[in-house]
Structure 1
Amino acid sequence: MKFTLVFPDKKRKTIRLGERLGVKTLLKHLPNGTTIKHPRRDTKVCGHKRRLLGKTFNDGDILNIVYKDHTSVRRLRRDLPTSNEECMISLSKDSKRAKMPCGHAITPRSLYDYCWSELENGRTEIKCPYVLNAKAETCNSLWSFDAFTKFANMNKKEKKTIENKIFTNKMKITNQKIPDVNTMISLLHNSPKTVIYGISCPLRRACPRCYSIIEHTGGCRSMRCGYPGCGFVFCFRCLSQGALCSYNCKTVPTQFALL
């Protein structure tokens, strides 16, 4: 069965599911705490193990997604900068808008939904979608993981899910077999230590771009990933991209801390 999902911000998404699957399966494709407005009845459809898609909807139905009252409000943290401009996605001025690092405004709810929309489309990075001119050129500024998760007010569980999705998308782009996450965590967190220019550092690191496991066998901190098609250059100590690290860094972050 084919469905067109229409979200509160008017964005649409088309999915296909078997008619003998439960409605609960359909709800797994949606943000937590959402319901579906029935296309022919004045009711909202919630997940139920006995409710089958084929007995609830028709093929080709357009389904309006409804956020529950307690989940529709995703509040902006008080310590973050706000903007008086309208939200770049919902065009709303009713809720507080975050002022993103690039200077453009967005509500935490719209930011959360936009991030998931991008990741569901296979993206591995979240960039600003603000439309600059009539030619539909966008800002396209890259938002860091810390920035968009903080401005969307994501909790620890949501951050973990987002990071897992980014990891999966990167594996698909580089045509690598998706490894068992627990195995990767074990390899990285149980790594032996080595000393790089006087600072203790794990002997094993994962390439920040393709997540290939790399061991430091000697030489300087600058590392080039040897996986075919990658070649990403980064600092083995602080994990920053090569051009962004002064190589005077002293921080040694733990990889996959959220997983």
Structure 2
Amino acid sequence: MTTYISIGNLSGERQYEQRIGLQIHKMRTIGDLRVALVGPLGLPRDRFDVIKMSEALLYNDTELLTHNDWSSKMVLVIHPPSRPIFDHLKTTETDMVNGAYEDEQRTIMSCGHGIVPATLYEYCWNSLQQGDLEFKCPAIDEFSVRGAQTTCGATWTLYELTIKAQLSQDERILFEMKLSKNSLAKMNEVQECPFCRSLAVRDNIKNDRVVCINCSKTNPDNSEFCWQCLHPWTTPNAIYCGNLSCSTSKGQTATQEILRTCSSKVMGDFNRASPTVRACPSCSALVEHTSGCKQMTCKCKHIFCFICLKPWKKKGVSGGCDYGNNCDPAQCQSV
């Protein structure tokens, strides 16, 4: 069965804005998709990459394709066919990153060191992926006054990189996007969502509960996290996340307070009331009972009885609780 998807590149060139049909049931990874796009694009596989727009990063060939990938537009970064050097920028200086490239032409950087343009592109892109905000020359300064080997450390501008690495329009836009994202990520007002890696802000600086806008649309059941510890928010209708590893000074105290002061209710046909909030016996995440039976499955996949806290009975295994067990409510837990 053929499925039609929309593709286009970052700079919006008309020749790459297409709607093409693919046999998506035969594709599992980004690598499979790139192979399928070679024909429609008329480009070899190494001339383009697929970009994660929310992260300003390139997909790895081994990453699995999801339903969300197919339902949204595929955005591509088109690389240049080559990275030629202007005659006045050519140098005989050794490549500062890999001195073995003596048979390839090198360009001279503003600090006086030489580098192969393709190496320059890879080095600067790797710096951005590590969260850097500037491009620093990595050349070893062997003529330090004190005799110690230190790096040059000179700063290169994006304009210099554009000229000397011969960035394509798409690459230039990608670098600008990643620089902006890195800059925002270093601000105190922004956090990176632990689920989708997009940037998120909180509505109130006094509220550590954050709802990722991107995840709320694609995965609403797993879209809330704690601003402080970046773990999933585990305590419904509470002001603390419930994660015992949270760095906030009141985190563990608040978790214990929630367990101690939560309301109680009678569940199903049982006569005795049980607390409405429990700490998972496996991972200690707080779990609230809102409706249904006493069988509870935590996000960590541990299944237990919400009343007595015993593991849920497995077929052929002795011990544990089940629907037929008129169990006694466990006391308030201590964390």
Structure ranking higher on relative contact order (CA contacts 8 Å, 6+ apart): 1
TM-score, normalising length: structure 2: 0.33
Between Structure 1 and Structure 2, whose CA radius of gyration is higher?
A: 2
TM-score, normalising length: structure 1: 0.42
